[in-house]
Amino acid sequence: MSKAMVVDDSRAVRLILRRTLEKFGYQVFEAQHGKEALTVLEKEPQIGLMLVDWNMPEMNGLELVRAVRADPDRARMVLMMVTTETEIEQMVRALAAGANEYVMKPFTEEVITDKLRLLGVIP
C-alpha cells in the first residue's frame, strides 16, 4: 500500500484530502504543521506523497518543502501544495523550492484527482 501525508492546520481540509487519497488506496498520515510532518516522516520513511498547506504554525509549507528537498533520501517524494495563496509569485516560489504541483483553495475533489493523475501517483 502506498503511503501519503496530508499536512494542514485545518482538520476539515485534512479529512477531505485524506478521504480522496484513501479512495485510491493510500494509507494516509496527517500532520498539523511542518515540524509535526518531519516527525511523522522519521517514523514513516516510506511516505512518497505529501499534500502541504502553506500557512501553518510552527513551520509553514514552504519551509517544509525546502526541508524535504534538502534531504537526499526524499528526493523522489512527490510534493503538492494545497493552499489559499493565490498570487503567481507564491506559486513560483513553491515550485522553485521543490513542489511538484500547486492547487489553490477552495478546491474540488476533481481538481485534486486531476493533479494527482498529472503527477502519475494515481491511475
Count of alpha carbons within 13 Å of 57, Cβ hemisphere only? 3
d(C-alpha 80, C-alpha 69), whole Å: 13
Full domain range(s) for residue 68: 3-119
Q: How far apart are the first and last CA of the chain?
A: 14
Per-residue confidence (pLDDT) for residue 75, from 0 to 100: 85
CA separation (Å) from 58 to 2, 35, 68, 116, 121?
A: 27, 7, 16, 27, 29
How confident is the model over 56-112, as pLDDT tens digits?
Answer: 999 999 999 999 999 999 989 999 999 999 999 999 999 999 999 999 999 999 999
Backbone angles phi, psi at 110, to 5 degrees: -65, -40
Count CB neighbours of 76 within 10 A. Answer: 7
Task: Write the CATH number for 75.
Answer: 3.40.50.2300
Q: How many domains does the chain have?
A: 1
Q: Extract the runs of DSSP E, i.e. beta strands, from 14-120.
A: 27-31, 49-52, 78-83, 101-104
* pLDDT above 90 (res 114): yes
Per the rule left: phi > 0, alpha: psi between -120 and 50, beta: everything else, 14 is alpha
Q: What is the pLDDT of residues 7-53, one digit of tens each?
A: 999 999 999 999 999 999 999 999 999 999 999 999 999 999 999 99
